[in-house]
Amino acid sequence: MSKKFTSTFLLSCMFGILFSQVETEKRDSVIKVEHFANLIGVHWDDSKERILTTDTDKIALGQWDPTRRLQGRTAGLNVYANSYTAGASSKITFRGLRSIQNSNQPLILLNGMPINNTEWGNGRGGTDQSNRLIDIDPMMVESIDFQSSMSARAKHGIVGANGVISIKTKKGFKIKPQITFSSTVSRSELTNMYALQYEYAQGRTVNGVQMYRGPDTAEGSSWGPLMTQLSYDSDIDYPYDVNGSLSTTANGQPANVYDPLDFFTNGFNHNQSLQVLGGLDKLSYLVVGSFNSQRDAIATNQHNRLNLGTSIAYQPSEKLELQLTANVTNSNAQRNQKGSNLSGIMLGVLRTPVNFDNTNGLSDPLNSPSSYILADGSHRSYRKGIYDNPYWSLNRNPHNDKVNRQIYQVTAKYNLLSNLDLKFKVGADMFGDTRMGGIDNSSAEIFGRSGFAYERSLDFDSQNLDLSANYKLIDNDSIVFKASIGFNYNQTRESYLLKEGSELIAENMVNIGNATEVEELSSLFENKRAGGYLNVDFSYMNYLQMTGSIRQDYSNKFGDDTNGFLSYGVGLDFSIVRFLNEYRSIFPYDIILNASYGKFGNEFLSGSQIGRYQASVVSGDGFISEILENGLELNPATSSINLLAESTSGFDLGFDILSNQRLRMSVRYYNEISEGVITNRALAASSGNSILQDNIGTVSNKGYDVNFSVQPVVRKNLGWKLDVNFNKNNNLLEKLNDTEDEIFLSGFDDASSVAKVGSPLGVLIGGTFLRNEEGLMIIGENGFPLVDSEKKIIGDPNPDWTMFVRNEFRIGRNLSLSALVDFKQGGDMWCGTCGTLDYFGRSEISAELRGESVVFEGLTETGADNNISVELAPESGSSSEYFLVRYGFGGIGEMSIYDASWIRLRNLTLSYDLSNIKGLNIFSELTCSLFAQNLWMLTEYPGIDPETNLTGNGTGFGIDYYNNPGTKTFGFNLKATF
Amino acid sequence: MNKQLKYIFIGILICLQACSLEDNSRSFEEFVEADPLELMNGAMTQMAFNHSALPARTWGGFMQYMEPGDSRIGFFNYNIPSEYFDSMWRLGYYGGSLASANEMKRLAEEAGNNMAVAISMVLLANEYGNLTYAFGDIPFSEALLGNENLTPSYDPQEDVCQGIIQMLDDAIALIGSNGLDGSLAAADLIYNGDMQLWSKFANGLKARLLLNQRNQISGMESEILSLIDQSFVMRSEQAEFPHSEDRPNPLFTFGEERPSTYFNTEYFVDILMTSEDPRFVSYTIADFPEWEYFGEPQLVWSRVDTPMPILSYTELLFTKAEALFHTGASTEVLETALREAIISSLVDNELEINTDVEDYISAASALTDLSSDEVLQKIVEQAYVSYYGYNFLQAWNNYRRTGYPELEDPGFTPGDNNPSNVVPRRLRYPQEEKDFNATNVEDAIERQNGDLLDDDVWMFR
């Protein structure tokens, strides 16, 4: 492998030397280089960069997660929260999905060095997790660029596939020490919630007789009698309610209607940041320290983060510039059980019938065990321990994690000549992530078995090395030529150590030390890549810019029989108006046509790794159980010896319209095709393996991005800036392997998000009603629709289009108001929660259906039009026949698909600049702001905030099954600089 | 300027050479440093599973020991399609015992653990042997190479047999005179590290193979007898798998998990009743109108913890009797040999050898006044009865080779997989092989003139 590298590299060296001797034509030109660069506001390094955020940006006030600060910044860069609990992760995608097993998120660079942004351990149950970008302190960030064009992504080789987010941290500069202090406080509260019914009690109906079936019966449904028909007897010893037990015949106090949603609280958040910067002639420095504490609507959840960052620049001579940055993060979090998890909080809260009080009348139920434990030590819950009382779960099923992270970077730039400089960058990113938690004995999740405790840790470290020589030639003001030749080496190691303790001995001690058996599992993922590249940029006069790059990468993840991966790209910008120089005075705007083409690759993730062995299982007989044996056997899956990075190629085409800062518009049409998408295919067993991981699939993304920024009003006492970005993307999985056309990504048997040939990635499939070829339902003899035996497509979680509109108003000299509105049109979500709440009779719909009759539109089995009228919840019938119950637990998939489109007011900020007030002049900057996040939303989705994904950053999405609820935040910020 | 650039580039190249792009990634299980012994339990248990689970019930049906109740469709009607054997190859053999034994051999060779190498060779030989008896030409020399050869070719059966014999010889040579290897005690579920017994097992497997291929390669009788002498000398030496609650006998598991699916046939029960076979009580029990093979403690072969013989002492004795027959030994010698074999089988079935069973033994081993063919028939038919429960495959091998016992025409409707509706002569190749290794399978099918259940494999033509 290194031999081939050497020869390629030698070739690129010679190339570079050759270029340095190119003679360029001298031409007369009136335009000077500096003038030209400023006029069109385009950056040399990448004409497609978009500046996304600066620290002073008011839109992101109160948002301490750097990932979420990226929301709505540029067309096609989709950033959505997976959950709104403290520290929960967000998913970043660019335009659409490209990969099944590997990364779908853009590469994140910190000062040019890749940093880790993975999320580990998020699944259908367990807890929410964080993505590692949360460790970065927004106060440290100066600017974030996003490299989106084909030619820009090609420069990054096998990690450029999903775009590149480039974060630059602040630097000091030559001034007297400047201190900035920022303090934010805010409060979070619950936003959307499922509509529950408060009329009917726990129980069921049999042949018209509504029976109250209380907690002692351990029955789950709320198909019982009206609460108004129940009253308490005088049994003061009744453990499930202080008022006594309920019945229709008791004569005492009428039944209380409790609201299980009272469980949710308001969370208090705060952030304090202190920044000192300054500089002398040769040395400048910056130090930032921040502390951040975040809570949400569930009482014990929290995420706390302490950041320390420093940046030191030293320029000993004119030729040499040195930069050192260091970022240290120390964070911890406490998280609740979620999702498909009998100990899950949402499941425990929402399924509780209104006759049961989870608090047991106590004012501090969280810290009073008698709210969740009976006198005899058993569970106090509405279903006798089959689900956990949420207060039990918060106390007895803990999850705590701690992350310590350090990122160090050293950059040296040596100006060898006036037109040639050498850059040397070396950096390290390392973190340790340790999680401790488990499920207590007798918790619902392990009903019938004993509890477990875990200590899971991830040790991550990576090193990065960049060397480049950069040459620039400016010839008589009309030609600017730049060439860069460079080398990059990056290696990462993820080392997992999982300690799983089972058979806990004592109660209320969820700890490895309390486990009888502890199993230790460890694994290691190493990813090494090396690449050599050549970039060329060429500008002619002031109307033509071209860029080209070629890069060869090698990776230890490539198969043994491969020769590396070639990436290349070319881009062109042509300014029509400047070209027609003489007409410049007529057109106040500049119109630039652009085109770019590129081919580049996608990053390997540890989750796609195939181990050589697995635990031994003896099987092969479909009729009898397998035997779990000691020791190991060969993993039937193996990786192709020809495995290469997934390859994305394509073009984008468009135009920019620019004026002098008051208008900027950019439209791009793009057509990308990702080939060699890595997935598995079957093999003949005689080879010893039956599954081969190989480059097999093809995914396409086509659409357009529109970015639009205008300042319609720029006056002394009124200013208005409007930014709009819009994306429409069509994603299609065009091909998988020959025998398989569907791969499970996430979800359940009832409904799942899959990769299905002919549909967008992530499409939802599930149970549907039986329909004929024209799409008409087939109705059974009893008047109810029949169910199709095959699972079909029930929805698509990919949006049709997305748009962000940002308005900033400056009123007077000191007041400013900004608002970010977020539109997501299209995108379905499977609300598994809704389906099960309907099934249990807890939902508002389930109460409303009583007394309703309907004629299902469709054909009978004989082909005639159906005209049978059926009652959806017949009064004289049994609850087991009700429409919402008869199709089984949660109903069939299509019954729970909802449109998750939204219009939301993501951020609203009102700021006042106090620094102009007499007496406050010592402050060079002093602003106070009021802000609200997620203040208002318009959506048809009947559940929690539809910005949610059960399984976090996995490829599959569009699944809501007792996900944690969304929150909105109101707060106040004070920022002072002196 | 050029010079300086050159220095810089050279510097970069030097850095390059120092970087290694090796992958040291390891998944969870690999941290056990893949000791060859880690794979031994799995390989042996899978072998035992293959011996007594689905494959055994297949042969048991072919040889009319067992038949389905009314609920079973498809399987027992002698018309089994290719799809049926996918999991047998993918999980049982190539993806199961063969993969584990082969990997164990590779790791043991790397570690210099010759005894483990020898054991893995014996396991491979047994499993390949059983596969080729059923499927004829099979992937052998190119098999199990993983992603170096995703589509292995099929070797002709004669080459496979030679290869198996070579493997067994190599194993015996490696073992040499080594005795008990304590380091293997825990991993070796069959012999706990007693290497001489492995050597005997290897000799016994050779004897079995030579007997099975005698229609094509004759005159090996003295070799067979010599091998048997070098194999088990008593029942306690036979190769059997120690089933238990944790590693249940698959025939037991089937009885437990699929009750009333399988019963003994009238045909088989008749044979037992007509000859007043004392093993009757260990084999079956009346549950009118059916005959149950499972459910009562005295039914030896369907108990959860019966040690199931992979190669039994009884089988060696029957092999010896038949080999003696083919050498033209005297009736006396043959009767003695046959008697020995029958007694061994009675012991297998937990019967006491006393006067109660003497009548049966005498009648069953009486060969005087019988024609040559009848002698062979009696020997093979007695083997048939003795092999019930644990050795269905060898019974089927005997049948295809000798034609005995004369099985009934079960009266099935002929199917696509078995147009002439005979007792199957072979199995079809798995559908997954036909899907993902098409060229090689087709070549093998052409070479053997078909893979339908009524096409013969080389060995038994």
**Which residues of chain A does B22 touch, with a Cβ-Cβ cutoff of 8 Å?**
528, 556
With a cut of 70, say whether residue B31 has pLDDT above it. Answer: no
Q: Is B38 on the interface with A (CB under 8 A)?
A: yes
Q: Are A711 and A661 in contact (CB under 8 A)?
A: yes
Q: How far does CA A305 lie from the centroid of its chain?
A: 19
A923-946 average pLDDT score: 93
Residue A238 dihedral angles phi and psi, to the nearest 5°: -65, 120
Confidence of residue B33 (pLDDT cuts 50, 70, 90): low
pLDDT at site A52: 59
Cβ contact A683–B150 (<8 Å): yes
pLDDT at site A167: 92
Residue of A556, A608, A612, A618 for testing the chain B interface, max B β-carbons within 10 Å: A618
Cβ contact A682–B432 (<8 Å): yes
pLDDT at site B34: 75
DSSP state of A256: P
**Which residues of chain B does A630 touch, with a Cβ-Cβ cutoff of 8 Å?**
41-42
Name the one residue in this structure whose structure tokens are 């229609």.
B215
pLDDT at site A41: 31
With a cut of 70, say whether residue A800 has pLDDT above it. Answer: yes
Q: Is B100 on the interface with A (CB under 8 A)?
A: yes
Q: What pLDDT, in 10s, does the model give residues A879-901?
A: 888 999 999 998 999 999 999 99
With a cut of 60, say whether residue B1 has pLDDT above it. Answer: no
User: In angstroms, rounded to a whole number, what is the distance separating the alpha carbons of residues A230 and A53?
Assistant: 59
DSSP B304-336: TT--EEEE-HHHHHHHHHHHHHHTT--HHHHHH
Distance from CA of A629 to the nearest CA of B (A): 6
**Which residues of chain B does A622 touch, with a Cβ-Cβ cutoff of 8 Å?**
54, 87
Q: Are B440 and B154 in contact (CB under 8 A)?
A: yes
Q: Is B304 on the interface with A (CB under 8 A)?
A: no
User: In angstroms, rounded to a whole number, what is the distance separating the alpha carbons of residues A848 and A884?
Assistant: 12
Instruction: Give me the residue from B91, B102, B103 closest to A619, CB to CB.
Output: B91
Distance from CA of A694 to the nearest CA of B (A): 11
Q: What pLDDT, in 10s, does the model give residues B184-194?
A: 999 999 999 99
pLDDT at site A857: 92
pLDDT at site A56: 53
ipTM for the complex shown: 0.90
Identify the sign of the CA torsion B131, B135, B139, B144.
negative
**Residue with the larger pLDDT of the pair B3 and B453:** B453
User: In angstroms, rounded to a whole number, what is the distance separating the alpha carbons of residues A721 and B324?
Assistant: 104
pLDDT at site B23: 72
Instruction: Give me the residue from A496, A686, A692 closest to B94, CB to CB.
Output: A686
- Min mean pLDDT across A559-563, A687-691, B204-208 is at A559-563
With a cut of 70, say whether residue A42 has pLDDT above it. Answer: no
**Domain residue spans in chain B?**
41-242+265-295+303-409+425-460
Nearest C-alpha neighbor of A69 from the set A21, A108, A35, A18: A108
Residues with Cβ within 8 Å of A139's Cβ and at least 6 positions away in sequence, in order, are A55, A182, A273, A275, A288, A290, A307, A309
Q: Are A785 and A770 in contact (CB under 8 A)?
A: yes
Name the one residue in this structure whose structure tokens are 């004669």.
B158
Instruction: Give me the residue from A609, A616, A683 closest to B42, CB to CB.
Output: A616
**Which residues of chain B does A621 touch, with a Cβ-Cβ cutoff of 8 Å?**
49, 53-54, 87, 92, 250
A493-517 average pLDDT score: 93
Confidence of residue B285 (pLDDT cuts 50, 70, 90): very high
B225-241 average pLDDT score: 96
Instruction: Give me the residue from A612, A620, A687 closest to B92, CB to CB.
Output: A620
For B179, the 3-state DSSP assignment is: coil
Cβ contact A684–B152 (<8 Å): yes
**Which residues of chain B does A420 touch, with a Cβ-Cβ cutoff of 8 Å?**
1
pLDDT at site A798: 97
User: In angstroms, rounded to a whole number, what is the distance separating the alpha carbons of residues A62 and A567?
Assistant: 40
pLDDT at site B414: 77
User: In angstroms, rounded to a whole number, what is the distance separating the alpha carbons of residues B30 and A460?
Assistant: 19
With a cut of 70, say whether residue A503 has pLDDT above it. Answer: yes
pLDDT at site A874: 87
pLDDT at site A9: 44
A224-239 average pLDDT score: 89
A765-771 average pLDDT score: 95
Chain A residue with the nearest C-alpha to that of B18: A2
Instruction: Give me the residue from B25, B54, B250 closest to A609, CB to CB.
Output: B25
pLDDT at site A50: 52
**Which residues of chain A does B262 touch, with a Cβ-Cβ cutoff of 8 Å?**
none
**Residue with the larger pLDDT of the pair A214 and A45:** A214
Please state at what angle helix B2-18 crosses helix A2-19, rounded to 10 degrees. 160
Cβ contact B29–A615 (<8 Å): yes
User: In angstroms, rounded to a whole number, what is the distance separating the alpha carbons of residues A19 and A474?
Assistant: 14
For B42, the 3-state DSSP assignment is: helix
pLDDT at site A925: 85
With a cut of 80, say whether residue A477 has pLDDT above it. Answer: no
pLDDT at site A920: 72
What stretches of A556-662 adopt beta strand conformation (E)? 565-575, 590-601, 613-618, 627-634, 637-639, 647-658
Cβ contact B49–A618 (<8 Å): yes
B261-289 average pLDDT score: 92
Cβ contact A630–B41 (<8 Å): yes
Cβ contact B39–A632 (<8 Å): yes
Two tokens, residue B304: 């959860």
Average pLDDT, rounded, for chain A: 89
Dihedral angle over CA of A834, A839, A840, A844, nearest 10: 50
Distance from CA of B318 to the nearest CA of A (A): 30
pLDDT at site A877: 87
A558-573 average pLDDT score: 93
CATH (residue range A2-190+267-339+395-602+637-762+797-812+818-825+902-977): 2.40.170.20
Chain B residue with the nearest C-alpha to that of A737: B436
Q: Is B433 on the interface with A (CB under 8 A)?
A: yes
Q: Is B443 on the interface with A (CB under 8 A)?
A: no
With a cut of 80, say whether residue A595 has pLDDT above it. Answer: yes
pLDDT at site A53: 52
Q: Which CATH class is domain B41-242+265-295+303-409+425-460?
A: mainly alpha
pLDDT at site A844: 95
Chain B residue with the nearest C-alpha to that of A694: B147
Cβ contact A623–B257 (<8 Å): yes
pLDDT at site B3: 55
pLDDT at site A661: 65
**Which residues of chain B does A619 touch, with a Cβ-Cβ cutoff of 8 Å?**
49, 87, 91-92, 96
**Which residues of chain B does A522 touch, with a Cβ-Cβ cutoff of 8 Å?**
28, 31
B9-34 average pLDDT score: 58
Cβ contact B258–A686 (<8 Å): no
A407-424 average pLDDT score: 94
Nearest C-alpha neighbor of A240 from the set A385, A363, A441: A385
Cβ contact A619–B87 (<8 Å): yes
Before B55, cis peptide (omega within 30)? Answer: no
Q: Is B73 on the interface with A (CB under 8 A)?
A: no
With a cut of 70, say whether residue A426 has pLDDT above it. Answer: yes
Cβ contact A630–B42 (<8 Å): yes
Cβ contact A632–B94 (<8 Å): no
Q: Is B91 on the interface with A (CB under 8 A)?
A: yes
Cβ contact B247–A627 (<8 Å): yes
Q: Is B275 on the interface with A (CB under 8 A)?
A: no
| Percentage of residues of chain A with pLDDT beyond 90 | 72
Residue of A687, A690, A691, A692 for testing the chain B interface, max B β-carbons within 10 Å: A687
User: In angstroms, rounded to a whole number, what is the distance separating the alpha carbons of residues B54 and B448?
Assistant: 25
Mean pLDDT highest for which of A388-402, A802-816, A906-920? A388-402
User: In angstroms, rounded to a whole number, what is the distance separating the alpha carbons of residues B460 and B394?
Assistant: 13
Predicted model pTM: 0.86
pLDDT at site A6: 47
A243-255 average pLDDT score: 87
| Residues A702-714 as b or e (16 or more Cβ within 10 Å = b) | bbbbbbbbebeee
With a cut of 70, say whether residue A49 has pLDDT above it. Answer: no
- Separation in Å, CA A145 to CA A78, A141, A148, A383, A567: 15, 11, 9, 53, 22
Q: Which helix (H) or strand (E) segment is A969 a member of?
A: strand A967-977
**Which residues of chain A does B152 touch, with a Cβ-Cβ cutoff of 8 Å?**
684, 686-687
pLDDT at site A11: 44
With a cut of 90, say whether residue A658 has pLDDT above it. Answer: no
Instruction: Give me the residue from A526, A614, A627 closest to B29, CB to CB.
Output: A614
Q: What pLDDT, in 10s, does the model give residues A320-333?
A: 999 999 999 999 99
Burial (0-12, 13-18, 19+ Cβ within 10 Å), B108: buried
Q: What pLDDT, in 10s, does the model give residues B395-414?
A: 999 999 999 999 987 777 77
**Which residues of chain B does A419 touch, with a Cβ-Cβ cutoff of 8 Å?**
none
**Domain residue spans in chain A?**
2-190+267-339+395-602+637-762+797-812+818-825+902-977, 777-795+828-899
Cβ contact B30–A612 (<8 Å): yes
**Which residues of chain B does A487 touch, with a Cβ-Cβ cutoff of 8 Å?**
12, 15-16
Cβ contact A688–B13 (<8 Å): no
Residue of B436, B440, B442 for testing the chain A interface, max A β-carbons within 10 Å: B436
Cβ contact B45–A616 (<8 Å): yes
Mean pLDDT highest for which of A557-561, A875-879, B198-202? B198-202
**Which residues of chain B does A425 touch, with a Cβ-Cβ cutoff of 8 Å?**
none
User: In angstroms, rounded to a whole number, what is the distance separating the alpha carbons of residues B39 and B434?
Assistant: 29
B130-156 average pLDDT score: 95
User: In angstroms, rounded to a whole number, what is the distance separating the alpha carbons of residues B162 and B165?
Assistant: 5
Q: What pLDDT, in 10s, does the model give residues A152-166?
A: 999 999 999 999 999
Q: How far does CA A297 lie from the centroid of its chain?
A: 20
B291-299 average pLDDT score: 93
